Structure 1
Amino acid sequence: MADTARPLELWLPDLPRFEPGHPLRAWLARADRAGDAPRGYLAGLASYFECVGGFAPAALTRELLAGDAADAAWLSADPAWIQPDLNGARLLACGQMQLSMDDALDLARPLKPVFGDAGMTLEVSSPDRWHVRLPPDARLPPFASPEQALGEDLAQHLPEGTEGRRWRAILTEVQVLLHQHPLNAQRRELGLPPVNSLWLWGGGSLPVAVRSELAGCVSDDVLLGALAARAGVEVASRTPDAIAAAKSGWLIDLQDLPVADLAGSWWPMLERLSGTTLSLSFASGERWLLRPWHRLRFWRGAGR
């Protein structure tokens, strides 16, 4: 009889990051290659969740964190670290800047008038997630997502055109104010990178509806959690107990973890999942299907 149950899906980091000796490579040697999945973080999320009326990460995360996104359009303005170099400047971090809520509010305070003068409101939704409430008639140029811009020359990813010029001017003023902020001097003394810019991205309004075929998710990702909440999909924080309890049709989000951690502290609980059918989906697009009886393929090597 054919197995019609949906597999338990593991969303994993890019496959090239896994060294030949990584224990997950032994799974791939025994598994069946499946059709490729979309590549990248945002494309991966879009493959799990269908947004009716548009995919707007800023509005979705604002709604999850503050519950007031429905009456406006929003733009993410996440705290960021930009490092100048000989050829310009590069985005080295966005969010996850080790800020407390008090730190975030302190940094945002002098920036609020910059957005206020342009008819917008800067909101600190969490230490890592800041948002701009936009006026009803706001026209947004295309903004690059953090995954597109991280590590790359900033000039390649700044908004362009007439509308882009306005936002570039706002960013310049924001960067000047952050450069002068005393909290950044304190961070440098502590060996922490400065919060010297905001990264603008993900603009739009809440989708009319979000749909998903997932039965549940194990994840600590804010945007995934926001999508799941709109779709009525259960979300459990990423803990050993939650991973052990995940069933067919669930998604276990591991794509942001270091592969060394997956081979270390996380591997014992992942290994226990091999008694069920697993879909191994890598952020780089490759996908395999691992069934319980595949453990009998002991003659296959671990060279994948």
Structure 2
Amino acid sequence: MAVRPSPDAVPALAVLLPERRRFAGQPLGDALGKALARGDRLSDGEPGEQAQLLRHVDLLPRGWPMAAITRQRDAGDAVLHQWLRADPAHVRPDMTGARVLAIGDLGLSQDEADALLAPLRPLFGDTGFPISAPVPSRWYLALPVEARLPAFSPPDAVLGDDLFSHLPEGPEGRRWRALLNEAQVLLHNHPVNAARVAAGKPAVNSLCFWGAGKLPDRVHMPFAAVSSDDAELLSLAALAGVGASGDGPQLLDLRRARDLSAVAARLQPALEDLARDGLRLDFADGARWWLQAGQRWRFWRRPTARLA
């Protein structure tokens, strides 16, 4: 007989999934449809990428200093400063403002990133915030440890929205609005962008400031292994001392999935051999299910056809 678990219990396998609406209209398939119908629907968690990851990782002190966390994996020097991500972005003017169409992964080479940074180095260096790009998709500002910063919106909130509605506010935000405006002018006139546009590639014509903070004192994950290609999650795992393989609870990241049938196929072995400690599905919109072997006796439940 299945025992209803605590939402905080550690399963044999935890699976991170995107928002359910990404799979709108797609059939669940027989095995996954039966498993969800017979499984336990847990109380919903807080929606959003940050909240989803925080259900599986613990940071001390509390916060989300993702710039320092990824910087440590990218360059190994995060303990020296407070950090802020200043990721390359592509925005497109429209009738109401400037729509943010891409952040971070714009297909830049390291040579392109270095060339684009060249005119930005004096701009940010003169303010005491040196800029660097140890990898082409992740740009960083090194800040004094005691620097006070305004609130910046995370990329998942900014992407697809109007850039101007996410600019930092108040007196502390004024400096950052001015810096962004100057950076946009320098990037707009850069020959690398002219070459990219001519080649049909998106121009790097803005920056996305986010993830400010210092490296956490402690990062803990209750897993023996993490499978992911996401830089933020892998950086958290590295600080927690968790690698890609190990005996014990596993965390599988499928948040980039677009095809529900591919997700069902990936989960098929786990569904066929549900461990006593169970399988937890965690969607980015907060919906969660707990699946375990004893639930198979709930055969009277009609299979779920589609995600709500």
Fold in common (TM above 0.5): yes
Q: Paired residues, what number?
A: 292
CA–CA distance in structure 1, aligned partners of residues 252 and 11 of structure 2: 13
* Pair 1:22-2:20 in alignment: no
CA–CA distance in structure 2, aligned partners of residues 269 and 280 of structure 1: 13
Cα drift, residue 293 of structure 1: 4.9
Q: Which amino acid aligns with 1:21?
A: P
Segments of structure 2 that go 5 or more residues without pairing to the other structure are 4-8
* Pair 1:121-2:130 in alignment: yes
Would the alpha carbon gap of residues 162 and 279 (structure 1) be closer, same or farther in structure 2, given more than 3 Å must change? Answer: same
The TM-score, its normalising length taken from structure 1, stands at: 0.89
Q: State which of 273, 286, 301 in structure 1 corresponds to 2:270.
A: 273
Aligned to 1:243: none
1:79-107 per-residue CA deviation (whole Å, 9 max, x = no partner) reads 11111110111211111111111111111
CA–CA distance in structure 1, aligned partners of residues 10 and 212 of structure 2: 37
What does 1:134-153 align with in structure 2 at a 5 Å threshold?
134-153=143-162
* Pair 1:154-2:151 in alignment: no
Instruction: Decide whether the 8 Å contact of 2:28 with 2:264 is kept in 1.
Output: no
Aligned to 2:288: 287
Q: State which of 24, 42, 46 in structure 2 corresponds to 1:38.
A: 46
Q: Which amino acid aligns with 2:157?
A: Q
5-14 or 39-48, which moves further after superposition? 5-14
Q: State which of 188, 193, 202 in structure 1 corresponds to 2:197.
A: 188
Q: Which amino acid aligns with 2:27?
A: G
Would the alpha carbon gap of residues 93 and 27 (structure 1) be closer, same or farther in structure 2, given more than 3 Å must change? Answer: farther
CA–CA distance in structure 2, aligned partners of residues 99 and 205 of structure 1: 27
185-194 or 2-11, which moves further after superposition? 2-11
Cα drift, residue 55 of structure 1: 2.5
Instruction: Decide whether the 8 Å contact of 2:121 with 2:130 is kept in 1.
Output: yes
Instruction: Decide whether the 8 Å contact of 1:20 with 1:302 is kept in 2.
Output: no
Would the alpha carbon gap of residues 75 and 21 (structure 1) be closer, same or farther in structure 2, given more than 3 Å must change? Answer: same
Cα drift, residue 223 of structure 1: 1.1
* Pair 1:301-2:282 in alignment: no
CA–CA distance in structure 1, aligned partners of residues 222 and 234 of structure 2: 15
Cα drift, residue 199 of structure 1: 0.3
* Pair 1:197-2:206 in alignment: yes
Aligned to 2:16: 11
CA–CA distance in structure 2, aligned partners of residues 28 and 198 of structure 1: 41
SS of equivalent to 1:234: coil
The TM-score, its normalising length taken from structure 2, stands at: 0.88
SS of equivalent to 1:97: coil
Root mean square deviation, CA, Å: 2.1
Instruction: Decide whether the 8 Å contact of 2:145 with 2:214 is kept in 1.
Output: no
1:157-215 per-residue CA deviation (whole Å, 9 max, x = no partner) reads 10111111101111011101111111212222222211111100011100111122222
Aligned to 1:64: 73
CA–CA distance in structure 1, aligned partners of residues 296 and 198 of structure 2: 53
Would the alpha carbon gap of residues 5 and 247 (structure 1) be closer, same or farther in structure 2, given more than 3 Å must change? Answer: farther
Instruction: Decide whether the 8 Å contact of 1:111 with 1:174 is kept in 2.
Output: yes
Cα drift, residue 288 of structure 1: 0.8
CA–CA distance in structure 2, aligned partners of residues 81 and 51 of structure 1: 31
**Percent of pairs with identical residues:** 45
1:48-92 per-residue CA deviation (whole Å, 9 max, x = no partner) reads 111112330000100011000101100001111111110111211
Would the alpha carbon gap of residues 29 and 190 (structure 1) be closer, same or farther in structure 2, given more than 3 Å must change? Answer: farther
CA–CA distance in structure 2, aligned partners of residues 80 and 26 of structure 1: 42
Segments of structure 1 that go 5 or more residues without pairing to the other structure are 237-245
CA–CA distance in structure 2, aligned partners of residues 257 and 108 of structure 1: 32
Which ranges of 4 or more aligned residues in structure 1 deviate by more than 4 Å? Answer: 1-5, 293-299
Aligned to 2:235: 226
